[in-house]
């Protein structure tokens, strides 16, 4: 057996004989186990970046199908023998990805912030002809009044796109009714609105719903808060969910979820039922870290322009407008506009007071009822509470967010998945995968229209 | 169970479909990849199954872009990337994974060539770790030959019959596999 290539090789040969006796090699994988590696839950129409299985050549399709059948048979045999666990996380994630190419409904429930909560449904029906799917979304942002005399504010967006319908309904706030306790809602219905536009910027379609809404009368006042940072969270959540319903993006989204999960385990519930548990989504923590590294805001504050209208007769500030540099928004730092310290008794006192402290002050007195004063470089206090809130929220979310995926091994299919632990009230997003029941009444825009609804388009 | 599969070089050249080629190569090299992962994740078979499935999926999804008629080096690159991602994601080890010690491995490579290694040396855990890491770095064919010959005790005649090559070819390839193992030991990172 020994060859004569060189003298050292004889020593290598002898050493390998000893190594072969002394070294415990990992056991070889049997045929069943090897077959399972190639049984990754792929189904026709699966969502993949690049070429899909049905774009492959016939030979490859046949080969894959044959492999799949062989793997399924191997799995069946394996189950008959009663192993502890044969479904891996990769299989479940791949099946989840495949299931997203079919009909699905997403339910958003109980996602709460301090004064806002989010509810909603996103439904995609793909039971019809290819390319003729029906999509429906309805999202409510409920803003709690900080004064019990006032109603809560239910901002709604509903959008429908089907082979026969395309519309979007929005309801936001337009101001206060004459009486106390009522807020006037603005309503609109846009016919022909595209889903793609909605998916790009879902919160932009809520009409008038700024970060903070304040209403007041002689007797009472109310504030509704939906802060910029909360909007960021909700917007990201909605875009994430809408990307899941999009065949072009769903594969990458699931790959990101899979890569981000720090802990993943698959639990066998009964013979053919498995549940994948994923948690510790590390990328959320990384995002919180990035947000915390905001630059020094001193320079940014000096660039910000603050404009306010001052009524010398009533000695009140009537309106304020704040135009911060973009970087302030990007870093999540706001400037506190507390003007309580301003001497408002006379313009002659107010303007010099500002000039002593600010870099530039321009006073426009062309309207005797209202002075317009523009100020830059005033040493307003900066408010980074929003930034801190976002950092804390994302850090907490990393620890609380879990994903469970229910996998049916007999059908090689995922039927349901759920994200839980969103926010302090254990908000959840549930995905039911497979045929959906979509009430035709819901698809009709007329169900939303009231006499106050402004209708745009035909 | 045997680790050997027949040499596929002629079959690969005949295949025009890169996806089928990748599939065939995956099947041929599966034992070697499994061994590579098993050693490096501390024997956790569930994780190994995951990595093997991901290797299968990733190679299949990217197969259409493959230009090389022999996809094995490409599959090894994917396998190494997957392992790296796995370790990065876990951010911790179980403690069972063998630790590469380049200095020790280098000394071992020298002794592997020049002296008979005593049983007490081969029984040491850190020595076994270096050998396991080096053996599982070898190509699928090299592993199959060394394991068939030295771990499973097959003769060159048996190997030649299983692999469908001549005994002379087995002898030459075994020689090169022994050299390759020494090189892997010498350059273990």
Residues B135 and B69 in one domain: no
B166 shares a domain with B115: yes
Exposure string for A343-377, b = 16+ CB within 10 A, e = fewer: ebeebeebbeebeeebeebeeeeeeeebbbbbbbb
The answer to whether the Cβ–Cβ distance between B122 and A23 falls below 8 Å is yes
Of all residues in chain B, the one with the smallest CA distance to A46 is B61
Q: Which domain holds residue B168?
A: 98-189
Q: Does A7 touch chain B (CB under 8 A)?
A: no
How many domains is chain B partitioned into structurally?
A: 2
Partner residue facing A16 (CB), from B56, B89, B178 = B178
| B34 Cβ neighbours under 8 A, 6+ residues apart | A26, A28, A29, B48, B52
Q: Are residues B14 and B88 in the same domain?
A: yes
Final residue belonging to a domain, choices B72, B97, B122? B97
B61/A48 touch (CB, cutoff 8 Å), yes or no: yes
Residue A111 buriedness (CB in 10 A; 0-12 / 13-18 / 19+): buried
Structure tokens at A174: 């337009």
Does B60 lie in the same domain as B148?
no
Judge if B56 and B113 occupy the same domain. no
Q: What is the pLDDT of residues A236-279, one digit of tens each?
A: 899 899 999 998 889 888 888 888 888 888 888 888 889 999 98
Instruction: Tell me which residue in A18, A36, A57 faces B17 most closely, judged by beta carbons.
Output: A57
In 3D, which of A109, A209, A226, A105 has the Cα closest to residue A157?
A209
For residues B78 and B107, state if they share a domain.
no
Residue from B182, B133, B38, B10 nearest A6 by CA: B182
Residue A92 CA, chain-centre distance (Å), reads 22
pLDDT value of residue A265: 87
Look at residue A88 in the predicted model and tell me its pLDDT.
Answer: 82
> DSSP assignment, residue B117?
P
Q: How far apart are the first and last CA of chain B?
A: 31
CATH number at residue B32: 1.10.1740
The SS3 assignment for A261 reads strand
Question: Are A41 and A6 contacting, i.e. CB atoms less than 8 angstroms apart?
Answer: no
Counting beta carbons within 10 angstroms of the beta carbon of residue A36, is it exposed (0 to 12), middle (13 to 18) or buried (19 or more)? buried
Neighboring chain A residues of B181 at a CB cutoff of 8 Å? 12, 16
Subunit contact A34:B30, Cβ cutoff 8 A: yes
Across chain B, which distance is largest between two alpha carbons, in Å? 51
Cα–Cα distance measured from residue B53 to residue B9, given in angstroms and rounded to the nearest whole number: 24
Q: What is the pLDDT of residue A330?
A: 66
What is the pLDDT, as a whole number, of residue A5? 53
Any long-range contacts for A221-224 (C-beta under 8 Å, 24+ apart)?
A221/A147, A222/A145, A222/A146, A222/A147, A222/A149, A222/A150, A222/A183, A223/A145, A223/A146, A223/A147, A224/A115, A224/A143, A224/A144, A224/A145, A224/A146, A224/A153, A224/A173
- All residue ranges of chain A with pLDDT < 50 are 1-4, 41-85, 288-290
- Same domain membership, residue B55 and residue B123: no
Residue-wise pLDDT tens digits, A45-67: 333 333 333 333 444 444 444 44
For residue B121, the domain's CATH number is 1.10.10.10
The ranges assigned to domains in chain A are: 27-83, 104-292+389-456, 298-383
The terminus-to-terminus CA distance of chain A in angstroms comes to 89
Of A279, A254, A280, A276, nearest to A265 by C-alpha is A276
Pairing type for strands A104-112 and A116-125 reads antiparallel
Of A12, A20, A48, which has the smallest distance from its Cβ to B112's Cβ? A12
Kindly report, residue by residue over A26-49, the tens digit of the pLDDT: 988 988 888 878 765 443 333 333
Interchain contact B14–A (C-beta under 8 A):
no
Same domain for B82 and B50, yes or no, is yes
Is residue A133 within 8 Å of A163, Cβ to Cβ?
Answer: no
Q: What are phi and psi of A122, to 5 degrees?
A: -130, 125
Q: What is the pLDDT along chain B (189 residues), one digit of tens a residue?
A: 444 554 444 444 444 677 888 888 999 999 999 999 999 988 888 888 889 988 988 888 777 777 777 889 999 999 998 888 888 766 555 566 788 888 999 999 999 989 999 998 998 888 999 999 999 999 999 999 999 999 999 999 999 988 888 999 999 999 999 999 999 999 886
Question: Residue A423 contacts by C-beta under 8 Å, 6 or more apart in sequence?
Answer: A111, A112, A113, A393, A397
Q: What is the pLDDT of residue A59?
A: 40
Q: Which residue of A has its CA nearest to B39?
A: A26
**Do A215 and A183 touch, CB atoms closer than 8 A?**
yes
| CB-based contact, A5 to chain B, within 8 Å | yes
Instruction: Specify whether B93 is located in the same domain as B130.
Output: no
Contacts of A63 in chain B (CB under 8 A): 19-20, 23
The B residues from 159 to 178 touching A (CB cutoff 8 Å) are 171, 174-175, 178
B89, B156: one domain: no
Q: Which residues of B touch A13 (CB under 8 A)?
A: 178
Q: Cβ of A18 and B122 within 8 Å? A: yes
Query: Does B66 share its domain with B146?
Result: no
Contacts with A58 (C-beta within 8 Å, 6 or more apart), sequence order: none
> Are A15 and B112 within 8 A, CB to CB?
yes
Distance between CA A212 and CA B30 in Å, rounded? 59
| Residue after which a domain boundary falls, among B97, B126, B153 | B97
Q: Angle A53-B21-A252 (CA atoms, 0-180°, nearest 5)? A: 40
Separation between Cα atoms, residue A387 and residue A334, nearest integer Å: 9
Domain boundary among B97, B120, B135: B97
Among partner residues B3, B49, B56, which is closest to A28 by beta-carbon distance?
B3
- CA pair distance B144, B127, nearest whole angstrom: 21
The interface pTM score, or ipTM, of the predicted complex is 0.88
pLDDT at position A123: 95
Cβ–Cβ gap B123/A50 under 8 Å: no
**Nearest-CA distance B114 → chain A (Å):** 6
Alpha-carbon span A396 to A389, nearest angstrom: 10
**Is residue B13 located within the same domain as residue B72?**
yes
Cα–Cα separations (whole angstroms), residue B64 to A58, A95, A293, B67, B76: 14, 22, 42, 8, 17
pLDDT of residue A207: 58
């Amino acid at each position: 057996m020994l060859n004569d290539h060189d003298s050292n090789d004889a020593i290598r040969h002898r050493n390998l004989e000893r190594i072969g006796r002394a070294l415990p090699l990992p056991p070889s994988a049997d045929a069943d186990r090897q077959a399972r590696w190639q049984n990754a839950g792929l189904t026709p129409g699966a969502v993949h970046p690049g070429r899909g299985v049905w774009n492959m050549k016939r030979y490859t399709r046949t080969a894959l199908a044959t492999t799949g059948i062989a793997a399924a048979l191997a799995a069946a045999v394996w189950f008959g023998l009663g192993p502890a666990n044969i479904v891996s996380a990769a299989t479940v994630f791949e099946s989840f990805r495949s299931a997203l190419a079919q009909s699905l409904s997403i339910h958003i429930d109980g996602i709460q912030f301090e004064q806002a909560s989010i509810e909603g449904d996103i439904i995609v029906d793909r039971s019809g002809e290819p390319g003729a799917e029906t999509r429906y979304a309805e999202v409510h942002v409920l803003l709690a009044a900080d004064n019990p005399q006032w109603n809560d504010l239910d901002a709604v967006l509903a959008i429908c796109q089907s082979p026969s319908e395309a519309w979007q309904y929005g309801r936001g706030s337009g101001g206060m009714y004459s009486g106390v306790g009522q807020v006037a809602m603005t309503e609109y219905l846009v016919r022909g609105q595209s889903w793609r536009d909605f998916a790009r910027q879902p919160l932009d379609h809520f009409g008038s719903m700024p970060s903070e809404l304040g209403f007041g009368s002689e007797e009472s006042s109310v504030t509704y808060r939906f802060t910029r940072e909360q909007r960021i969270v909700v917007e990201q959540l909605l875009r994430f969910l809408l990307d899941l319903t999009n065949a072009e993006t769903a594969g990458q989204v699931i790959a990101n979820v899979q890569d981000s999960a720090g802990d993943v385990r698959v639990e066998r519930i009964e013979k053919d039922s498995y549940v994948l548990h994923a948690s510790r989504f590390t990328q959320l923590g990384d995002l919180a870290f990035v947000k915390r590294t905001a630059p020094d805001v001193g320079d940014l504050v000096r660039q910000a322009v603050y404009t306010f209208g001052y009524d010398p007769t009533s000695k009140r500030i009537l309106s304020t407008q704040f135009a911060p540099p973009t970087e302030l928004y990007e870093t999540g730092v706001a400037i506190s506009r507390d003007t309580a310290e301003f001497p408002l008794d006379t313009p002659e006192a107010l303007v010099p007071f500002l000039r002593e402290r600010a870099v530039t002050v321009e006073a426009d007195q062309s309207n005797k009822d209202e002075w317009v004063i523009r100020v830059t470089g005033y040493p307003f206090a900066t408010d980074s509470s929003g930034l801190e809130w976002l950092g804390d929220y994302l850090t907490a979310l990393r620890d609380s967010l879990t994903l469970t995926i229910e996998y049916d091994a007999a059908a090689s299919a995922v039927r349901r998945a759920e994200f839980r632990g969103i926010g302090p009230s254990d908000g959840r997003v549930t995905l039911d995968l497979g045929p959906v029941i979509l009430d035709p009444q819901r698809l009709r825009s007329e169900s939303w229209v009231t006499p106050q609804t402004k209708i745009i388009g035909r | 169970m045997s680790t050997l599969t027949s040499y596929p070089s002629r079959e690969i050249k005949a295949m025009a479909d890169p996806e089928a080629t990748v599939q065939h190569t995956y099947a041929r090299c599966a034992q070697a990849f499994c061994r590579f992962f098993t050693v490096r994740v501390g024997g956790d078979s569930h994780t190994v199954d995951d990595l093997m499935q991901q290797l299968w999926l990733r190679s299949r999804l990217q197969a259409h872009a493959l230009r090389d008629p022999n996809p094995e080096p490409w599959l090894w690159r994917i396998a190494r990337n997957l392992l790296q991602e796995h370790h990065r994601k876990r951010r911790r080890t179980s403690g069972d994974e063998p630790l590469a010690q380049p200095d020790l491995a280098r000394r071992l490579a020298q002794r592997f060539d020049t002296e008979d290694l005593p049983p007490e040396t081969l029984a040491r855990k850190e020595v076994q770790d270096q050998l396991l890491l080096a053996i599982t770095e070898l190509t699928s064919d090299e592993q199959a030959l060394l394991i068939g010959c030295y771990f499973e005790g097959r003769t060159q005649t048996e190997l030649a019959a299983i692999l469908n090559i001549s005994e002379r070819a087995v002898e030459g390839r075994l020689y090169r596999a022994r050299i390759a193992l020494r090189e892997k030991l010498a350059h273990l990172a």
